[in-house]
Structure 1
Amino acid sequence: MRILLVHERYRLRGGEDVAVETEEGLLAAHGVDVATLVEDNARIGGGSLGLALRAIWSRAGYEAVSKAIAAQRPDIVHVHNTFPLLSPAVYHAARAHGVPVVQTLHNFRLLCANGFMLRDGRACADCVERTIKWPAVAHACYRGSRRASAAVAAMTGIHHVAGTWRHAVDLFLALNPHAREVFVRGGLPADRIVVCPPAVRDPGPGPARNGERRGALFVGRLSPEKGLETLIEAWRGLDAPLDIIGDGPLREGLAGAAPDTVRFLGAMPADAVSAAMTRASLLVFPSLWNETFGLVVAEAMAHGLPVLASADGAAVHMLDDGISGAFARPGDIADWRRQAAALLERPEALRRMGQAARTTFMARFSDRPAYERRMDVYGRVLNAPVRPAPYAPGNAPVRERAD
């Protein structure tokens, strides 16, 4: 089997980029022939109008996928991110060559201009069931710009009307059951959305520890949707140290407002993050948006590190309350302070929760179950009847996919 992975990297490296790299390694380790086509957001340049048009239909993206298919002859094209440089043209390129398409839904971009279903720090679903996402334009939801928001709304609206999501994608992979329900509400075909969490690197049990785990740890991008402002305020009055690993637009402001018990360590390589997880007694995951998958939550579980997470979104489907983790209400400073204090005062309970978290990780997110899920998905796509490719500008003549 040969898989072509298609992905557009983000300017600030995040969980989605890590997930794609981990998936490539997982498949290759199990003998799957993997080819990649990777674009980079760092190459974005030129005027906003040109970028907006390219986000709707990128001739360059279409041609890049066509050339990759001709050279690699994959059985499946597995798409991750196409925004904004590759565009949905990549689906049509694959369909024009008779190659089935799988799309992992890492965020809510198909339904929401900013991808988070979050506005002014609160959950928002105003655009989910609308073909034209005009509230996103009115509220300047994408990067605080009405013009940029209009471009994203045009992209999703045009391809919704054109039937791209219905006809050019064979199977969508939602990362948790709640996300699947949201995408069904948004108009994606329910019979072609399955729940399939991504692969997560297993660090192994690690060496025996000589000292006690101590303090809490946050790992992630320092941006508004991650809930750092809630966390920093909640930490006032707590004696336990809190280490924050990551970088982003809020770093300077958060560092200036944080109490002395909080340290900002900046971005770190994977091995340093892994080492920090072996030293901490609790991972905190205060996200305000309904994350489709908490990669850092799964990584913490792999390290035997229990998690205090927001009581919405992906973590609810990953942790068992009081067994492998605990929950606090998103954005509720008092609840986060209360829950964190209660957990950090019980080191033995945290140790037991960490053991349970590791057990859950091995059963649900380690290599073997992740690989089996992926093979089930690919088998379903390859065994399904071939559907005709929809018309799109610039399509090459449709041909049958080679066996």
Structure 2
Amino acid sequence: MNILVAHNFYKLAGGEDQCVAAEVAMLRAHGHRVTQYCLSNDATDGMGRLELAGRTIWSRPAFLEMRRLIGVHHPQVVHFHNTLPLISPAAYYAARAERVPVVQTLHNFRLVCVNALLFRDGKPCEDCLGKTVPWRGVAHSCYRDSRAASAAVAAMIASHRLLGTWRNAVDAYIALSEFSRRKFIEGGLPADKIAVKSNFAYPEPGAGAGNGGYAVYVGRLSAEKGVETLLRAWRSVGKAVPLKIAGDGPLAPAVQEAAAQNAAIQWLQGVSHEKVYDLIGAAAFLVLPSQCYESALPRVVIEAFAKGTPVVVSRLGAMAEIVEDRRNGLRFDPGNPEDLAAKVRCLFSDSSALKRMRRAARETFDQNFTADANHEVLMAIYARAVDGYSRHDVHEMDTVSAS
């Protein structure tokens, strides 16, 4: 199949960027021709506020470039990942002008929430869910703590909702969990266009030994990821359970301070993706204390399952759907450091439970998150998008003929 993949990279690379890279590699390994159209947020440096806001809503350069690429490469489908801010929904219309079906992966809640997280003031927030104009996201400066930046994103969401972009310009959406699919439907996206396809691990890393004698956190050091809950829990855990933290972000100073105060905490900076796999595979278990919903099962959880490493997660969103308590991990009350500390101490001291959970974690990966299974689901979604576009196209021609 001939596929054009479009993605706007973030300044700080994260799981979403890794998911795009893995999916492109998986598609090519299965014999598909993949052309990439990628922009980076580094290009926004020096860009004026009005110019950036305008491109967020409608990027004429992206519209023209998308039409050019389609004309050169003749893809059978255009698959979008992140479009904010430099690609914008204008690129959907470019694909439609060239009569090519559009698929959009919903990596986050951007189409229904200004900050894309459904998260505010340390807890899940649905104030704007289903609202035509997400004005509360502007009032609370939900995007980058800036009312102006929030207004630009809110204008993009509202204008394209009013234009019918989300309903008419996209042929198939990919939600990364059943939980997020439900939220997007509540937010107004057409239920009949949303399929579920999880993230996956590619290439498959193989199971680890789990003999490192420590717990591990891997991810962005930020409030929505529950880093403060993690650090407060370890004040109670003390030196009983060594903790390795790999990542960077706005809460890095708090992590650095915690590591200085507790010799059991080690902060690892600049760890390569290959080393992260080794780090996860040797860990007794991974801890993911997110206080936001997580639109998808985070990639790091799938990587942990691939390595056969149990996961301790917040009882929230997609995480609670796939992490089965006392089978492939444990769940704790979100934002509750005492509950997390108790679960960590109990699990770390129970070698038989850890051994049993390691087997179950790897079984979860084999049953749900392999590249081959993911490829099969993705091909079905592409076929659905092509079929849906063809029927829409026929309907439009019939309407024109009748008029």
2:181–2:196 Cα contact (<8 Å) kept: yes
Deviations 1:15-56 (A, max 9, x none): 100000000011111111111111111111212121111100
Give the secondary structure class of the aligned counterpart of 1:8. strand
Structure 2 residue identity aligned to 1:240: V
1:273 to 273, 276, 297: 276
1:202–1:299 Cα contact (<8 Å) kept: no
Give the superposition deviation at 1:387: 2.3
Mapping 1:194-233, distance limit 5 Å: 194-205=195-206, 209=209, 212-233=211-232
1:346 to 344, 350, 368: 350
Mapping 1:12-27, distance limit 5 Å: 12-27=12-27
The separation in 2 between residues aligned to 1:71 and 1:199, in whole angstroms, is 31
Give the secondary structure class of the aligned counterpart of 2:128. coil
Give the superposition deviation at 1:250: 1.2
Deviations 1:79-100 (A, max 9, x none): 0000011111110110110000
2:53–2:152 Cα contact (<8 Å) kept: yes
Deviations 1:279-305 (A, max 9, x none): 210100011111122110000000000
The separation in 1 between residues aligned to 2:74 and 2:244, in whole angstroms, is 47
2:329 to 322, 325, 335: 325
Structure 1 residue identity aligned to 2:76: D
1:219–1:246 Cα contact (<8 Å) kept: yes
Structure 1 residue identity aligned to 2:371: D
1:107–1:292 Cα contact (<8 Å) kept: yes
1:201–1:299 Cα contact (<8 Å) kept: no
The separation in 2 between residues aligned to 1:68 and 1:318, in whole angstroms, is 39
Give the superposition deviation at 1:339: 1.0
Give the secondary structure class of the aligned counterpart of 2:362. helix
Give the secondary structure class of the aligned counterpart of 1:81. coil
Gaps in structure 1 of 5+ consecutive residues: 390-403
1:174–1:196 Cα contact (<8 Å) kept: yes
The separation in 2 between residues aligned to 1:212 and 1:21, in whole angstroms, is 30
Give the superposition deviation at 1:214: 1.0
Give the superposition deviation at 1:153: 0.5
The separation in 1 between residues aligned to 2:205 and 2:175, in whole angstroms, is 27
Give the superposition deviation at 1:206: 5.1
1:221–1:247 Cα contact (<8 Å) kept: yes
Matched, 1:264 2:267: yes
2:207–2:306 Cα contact (<8 Å) kept: no
Give the secondary structure class of the aligned counterpart of 2:330. strand
2:200–2:302 Cα contact (<8 Å) kept: no
Structure 2 residue identity aligned to 1:334: E
The separation in 2 between residues aligned to 1:197 and 1:204, in whole angstroms, is 18
Give the superposition deviation at 1:253: 2.5
The separation in 2 between residues aligned to 1:203 and 1:377, in whole angstroms, is 23
The number of residues matched between the two structures is: 388
1:372 to 371, 376, 390: 376
Give the secondary structure class of the aligned counterpart of 2:3. strand
Structure 1 residue identity aligned to 2:392: R
Give the superposition deviation at 1:122: 0.9
Give the superposition deviation at 1:223: 1.5
The separation in 2 between residues aligned to 1:76 and 1:143, in whole angstroms, is 33
Structure 1 residue identity aligned to 2:229: T
Partner of 2:33: 33
Give the superposition deviation at 1:217: 0.4
Give the secondary structure class of the aligned counterpart of 1:321. coil
Partner of 1:387: 392
Mapping 1:12-161, distance limit 5 Å: 12-45=12-45, 46-161=47-162
1:203–1:303 Cα contact (<8 Å) kept: no
The separation in 1 between residues aligned to 2:251 and 2:206, in whole angstroms, is 34
The separation in 2 between residues aligned to 1:146 and 1:354, in whole angstroms, is 46
Task: Work out which structure has the larger RCO, using CA pairs closer than 8 Å and 6 or more positions apart in sequence.
Answer: 1
The separation in 1 between residues aligned to 2:69 and 2:271, in whole angstroms, is 33
Give the superposition deviation at 1:256: 1.2
2:114–2:150 Cα contact (<8 Å) kept: yes
The separation in 1 between residues aligned to 2:88 and 2:203, in whole angstroms, is 33
2:173–2:195 Cα contact (<8 Å) kept: yes
- In terms of fraction of residues, the more helix-rich structure is 2
Structure 2 residue identity aligned to 1:266: Q
